Amino acid sequence: MSGKDKNLHNMSESESEQEGVDKEGIEWIMNLPDVPMKLPPHVELQRTRVECKADAPIHTDTIQYSGAFASMGFDNSLRLDNFRNNFKIEVIDLKEDDIEFDMIGIDPALANAFRRILISEVPTMAIEKVLFANNTSIVQDEVLAHRLGLVPIRVDPRLFKYSDKDAPNENNTIVFRLHACCERGKPRLTVTSKALTWLPNGSEFPLVSDKSVSNSKPKTYTSFSCSQNTLSKEFSNNPIGPKDSDIILARLGPGQEIELEAHAVKGMGKTHAKWSPVATAWYRMLPEVVLMEEIEDELAEELEKKCPVNVFDIEDIAGKKRATVARPRDCTLCRECIRGDAWEKRVALRRVKDHFIFKIESTGALPPEVLFTEAVKILEDKCERLIAELS
Amino acid sequence: MEHGSFTDETKSTFSVADEDHTLANTLRYTLNQDPRVTFCGYSIPHPSDNRVNIRVQTTGDPAREVLKDACQNLMVVCQHVRNTFDKAVLDVKLTNPVRDINIK
Ligand code: SF4
């Protein structure tokens, strides 16, 4: 059902009810079947749609209080079975790193919680410590360390633990080595993330202070008890590395050299954005464009031209041109079509309050669909924790 | 941590550490949908203090139980969201499996 049809339906409903009230008044109201009570159409419109007027949007809030419509006999409380029946997810587009899906029948409070968790609370691995053995490039140590931190690492963070206060070991640290040198007389060298090589056996830099035992294996900056290759099959089939191999880290002039070790640990986006698993995670409400009256001929052409993203089409019926809403989903709510005299009366711009077009762009550690399920799980864990605290 | 009175269990403020709008706003939403709740809201007393205060006032049930039920409800909702999402994604993957081939 298109937005337009729905509107016509609403209007006819309101007319018939209006007539009814006029005819039999209170009698008629009392005789209405009380379950399920429906709200009058104009209130229902306020409840379910944001209306975008020329100066500002109105009815932007969601009405959450269970007794908000008690005087009208409408139960606004959350019924789980109701939610189950109405909730829908439609995947629009699924790519390696992006997903776009429609989440229908949910409150913004929840949609926003998922978005917030995706950005700041789903853990990933990122480079946190960089040990420089040599850096004669013009990029200062701290700047280079910061750049390295932002390189997305392709590894499932669920296989690792938070390091907290533990010594770096095979369960909480991933070590990369980078050694690049531009020889004298050669052209300048661009160091990319491809140069980061994974060391499954941990750090190779010996600890300086440790001179006591000479024969045994020298102590290093990490204490791995075994190679990370043996921890999970995934690692040996698909060695850990940066997600993209073409991220420029530094450029070296002749004679310059970088030698370093980078230690990646598990963390969350709220500590530092480098741990955020998403480039963006965002949603918008579904736009609904409704023509309040027939728009014909010159006006139709004017309307079609007004819209910068081509929401409207022109229909030719028996020599008459009529405007139709062809692609309401593309509407950016720029409000161009309701600018000018009387246009606000002809076109209604609305947003459906419980229909979210959700988009997740993963940085590459986990596929976007896994990220979303992880985010939902995190919200569940939060509830569980609170329940445990209250009991 | 609960701040209420010993005589009246129906009104309480719960101070939850290490949480923010993410949990508090969703809980406020679920609580407000519960017909037993007369008032519910939350505040973050100080932005650099990592805690939220959630206020719950009910028509008669202990606020603590109502909050617990809200958490339970929220978990059920989350599980449903997760299952629906997984199903939708699986459907898409089954209908066009090209993506999987590209990755591995
Ligand atoms: S608001 Fe802008 S994008 Fe949307 S229909 Fe009107 S002119 Fe087109």
**Which one is predicted more confidently, A15 or A239?**
A239
- Average per-residue pLDDT for chain A: 85
Q: Are residues A254 and A147 in the same domain?
A: yes
Q: Are residues A245 and A135 in the same domain?
A: yes
- The CATH number of the domain where B72 resides is what? 3.30.1360.10
Q: Where are the alpha helices (DSSP H) in A31-74?
A: 41-48
Q: Please give the residue range of the domain that contains residue B64.
A: 2-95
Residues 27-66 of B with CB under 8 A from A: 27-30, 32-35, 37, 64
Least confident of A9-18, A267-276, B83-92: A9-18
Q: Are residues A221 and A252 in the same domain?
A: yes
Quote the number of domains for chain A.
2
Residues 56-85 of A with CB under 8 A from B: 64-67, 75-78, 80, 83-84
Within a domain: residue B100?
Answer: no
3-state secondary structure B47-67: CCCCEEEEEEEECCCCHHHHH
In angstroms, rounded to a whole number, what is the distance separating the alpha carbons of residues B16 and B9?
18
Within a domain: residue B101?
Answer: no
Average pLDDT of the segment spanning A269-297: 93
In angstroms, rounded to a whole number, what is the distance separating the alpha carbons of residues A374 and A378?
6
- Which of A249, A276, A303 represents a domain boundary (last residue)? A276
Q: Are residues A241 and A374 in the same domain?
A: no
Q: The whole model's pTM is what?
A: 0.86
Within a domain: residue A51?
Answer: yes
Q: Are residues A262 and A287 in the same domain?
A: no
Q: Are residues A306 and A316 in the same domain?
A: yes
Quote the number of domains for chain B.
1
Neighbours of A297 (CB within 10 A): 13
| pLDDT, tens digit, 9 for 90 and up, residues A323-377 | 999 999 999 999 999 988 788 889 999 999 999 999 999 998 999 999 999 999 9
Instruction: Say yes or no to pLDDT of A243 above 70.
Output: yes
Asked if residue A321 lies in contact with residue A243, where contact means CB atoms within 8 angstroms, the answer is no
Q: Please give the residue range of the domain that contains residue A112.
A: 38-64+78-122+280-390
Q: Do A376 and B37 count as a contact with CB atoms less than 8 A apart?
A: no
Within a domain: residue A18?
Answer: no
Instruction: Say yes or no to pLDDT of A158 above 50.
Output: yes
Q: Are residues A170 and A261 in the same domain?
A: yes
In angstroms, rounded to a whole number, what is the distance separating the alpha carbons of residues A204 and A197?
12
Within a domain: residue A352?
Answer: yes
Half-sphere exposure of A288 (CA within 13 A, CB side): 22
Within a domain: residue A23?
Answer: no
Query: Residue A55 contacts by C-beta under 8 Å, 6 or more apart in sequence?
Result: none
Asked if residue B10 lies in contact with residue B57, where contact means CB atoms within 8 angstroms, the answer is yes
Q: Which 3 state secondary structure label does DSSP give A117?
A: helix
| Residue A39 confidence class, pLDDT cut points 50, 70, 90 | confident
* Full DSSP string of A340-352: STTHHHHEEEEEE
| Residue A214 confidence class, pLDDT cut points 50, 70, 90 | low
Instruction: Say yes or no to pLDDT of A126 above 80.
Output: yes
Determine the residue of chain A that is closest to B36 in CA distance: A66
In angstroms, rounded to a whole number, what is the distance separating the alpha carbons of residues A381 and B75?
8
Q: Which helix (H) or strand (E) holds A279?
A: strand A278-291
- Which of A260, A276, A292 represents a domain boundary (last residue)? A276
Within a domain: residue B61?
Answer: yes
- The predicted structure's pLDDT at residue A32: 53
Within a domain: residue A194?
Answer: yes
Q: Are residues A228 and A146 in the same domain?
A: yes
Within a domain: residue A173?
Answer: yes
Within a domain: residue B88?
Answer: yes
Q: Do B85 and A89 count as a contact with CB atoms less than 8 A apart?
A: yes
Best residue of B1, B9, B14, B22 to probe chain A, by most A CBs closer than 10 Å: B22
- The CATH number of the domain where A54 resides is what? 3.30.1360.10
Contact list, B25 vs chain A (CB under 8 Å): 109, 112-113
Within a domain: residue B69?
Answer: yes
Instruction: Say yes or no to pLDDT of A25 above 70.
Output: no
- The CATH number of the domain where A227 resides is what? 2.170.120.12
Within a domain: residue B47?
Answer: yes
